[in-house]
Amino acid sequence: MKIKENYSLQELNTFKIDVKSKYFIEIENESDLKEIVKEYKSKGEKILLLGGGSNILFTKDFDGLVVHLITKGIDIVSQDDDSVLIDCKAGEEWDEVVQFAVNNEYYGIENLSLIPGTIGAAPIQNIGAYGAELKDVFYSLDGFYTADLVEKSFSLGESEFGYRDSIFKSELKDKFIITSVKLRLSKEKNFKLNYRDLADLNKLRKNITIKKVRDHIIKVRESKLPNPKVIGNAGSFYKNPEISAKQLTNLIDQNPDLPYFKSPDRKIKLPAGWLIEQCGWKGKREGDVASYHRQALIIINYGNATSQSILNFTQEIKDSVISKFGIELETEVNFY
């Protein structure tokens, strides 16, 4: 195990922010992980667990140890005629897990194709896209508390999943390290094709295959989301706000073409991208920061944006949405 000091994190966060960590280590196995956490905790150092760095905005240098987790492995734990239970090491790339499922015709995560990052981070904000969420296939996860290294498994119920939320993003933020995640995938075809962008797939009817769903999702995503390998970004900067029925009625009076969606739990969600676009931000650039011209909710770094310039820009967006619609946007990205 080799600790590096004063280490640049620019290539390890998809926003491409140029910050350094006091200490840095890459970890390939779980026993090293525990050892290093124990050692640096006892020295009183802060610890940040880093996966793919695709949902982070570094606002300053990290004064502690950054652990880059790259443990790999996807194993089948059990299966029957209907389903399969897989166990994945936390450092495994999320999209590798989706590719594995699609290759084997295990259904349930094909709509989550091409989401960047690791499977260890997927439960943190209960990743979601195109009508599917991690919690729909989640079985359990294993990990340990950083304070005392005590191991614990979390079931679906204990994980308190919500829209872009879980116990790991709230109460246990930076206090619990996820080392592996179990998913239960179906062997029976059961596609979710109600999302607007999937209308073309529905036309294929009986000819739909899991591979066609994955390919279509990838095509849609590539048409509107910037590739983080080319343009710095961390996906949606804000969450889509949830409002009450009364608020909706008032807003529709003022904005008859307001788009809104009712989620299965009957909450009303507004697309933050629409609110931001209506305030005139879509495609707008200040220095090297911009709202992406194809998806206003994605904030991009053209190259040399500082975290301060991103914070100023996104605060201006937030202020204008409050003043036009009376809605306060909540950030989705994790700040450090």
Residues with catalytic function: 164, 236, 332
The partner in contact with residue 123, picked from ligand EPU, ligand FAD, none with C-beta cut-offs of 5 to 8 angstroms by kind, is none
Beta strands in 70-188 (DSSP E): 74-79, 83-89, 128-129, 132-133, 138-145, 151-155, 176-186
Structure tokens at 60: 């300053």
End-to-end CA distance of the chain: 25
CB of 322 to ligand FAD, least distance (A): 24
From candidates 108, 120, 241, 273, binder to ligand FAD by CB under 6 A: 120
The partner in contact with residue 334, picked from ligand EPU, ligand FAD, none with C-beta cut-offs of 5 to 8 angstroms by kind, is ligand FAD
Task: For residue 323, give every residue at least 6 positions away whose Cβ sits within 8 Å of its Cβ, in sequence order, or none.
Answer: none
From candidates 1, 202, 259, 280, binder to ligand EPU by CB under 6 A: 259
CB of 82 to ligand EPU, least distance (A): 27
Q: By CB under 6 A, is residue 332 in contact with ligand EPU?
A: yes
The answer to whether 273 and 332 have CB atoms below 8 angstroms apart is no
Please spell the DSSP secondary structure of 257-321, one letter per residue: T---EE-TTS-EE--HHHHHHHTT-TT-EETTEEE-TT-TTEEEE-SS--HHHHHHHHHHHHHHH
Task: For residue 55, give every residue at least 6 positions away whose Cβ sits within 8 Å of its Cβ, in sequence order, or none.
Answer: 117, 121, 124, 125, 234, 235, 332, 333, 334
From candidates 16, 68, 89, 282, binder to ligand EPU by CB under 6 A: 282
Rounded Cα gap, residues 308 and 305, in angstroms: 8
Closer Cβ to ligand EPU, 89 or 164, answer by number: 164
Q: By CB under 6 A, is residue 123 in contact with ligand EPU?
A: no
Closer Cβ to ligand FAD, 115 or 290, answer by number: 115
The partner in contact with residue 53, picked from ligand EPU, ligand FAD, none with C-beta cut-offs of 5 to 8 angstroms by kind, is ligand FAD
The partner in contact with residue 277, picked from ligand EPU, ligand FAD, none with C-beta cut-offs of 5 to 8 angstroms by kind, is ligand EPU
Q: By CB under 6 A, is residue 274 in contact with ligand EPU?
A: yes
Number of residues that bind ligand FAD (CB under 6 A): 32
The partner in contact with residue 239, picked from ligand EPU, ligand FAD, none with C-beta cut-offs of 5 to 8 angstroms by kind, is ligand EPU
Instruction: Return the range that interacts with ligand FAD (CB under 6 A); candidates 113-121, 267-275, 276-284, 322-330.
Output: 113-121
Rounded Cα gap, residues 96 and 102, in angstroms: 10
The count of residues in the chain is 336
CA distances from 276 to 9, 105, 231 (A): 30, 39, 20
From candidates 111, 125, 291, 301, binder to ligand FAD by CB under 6 A: 125
CA distances from 2 to 22, 25, 27, 51 (A): 14, 6, 9, 18
Binding site for ligand EPU (CB under 6 A): 129-130, 196-197, 224, 235-236, 239-240, 259, 271, 273-274, 277, 282, 295-297, 332
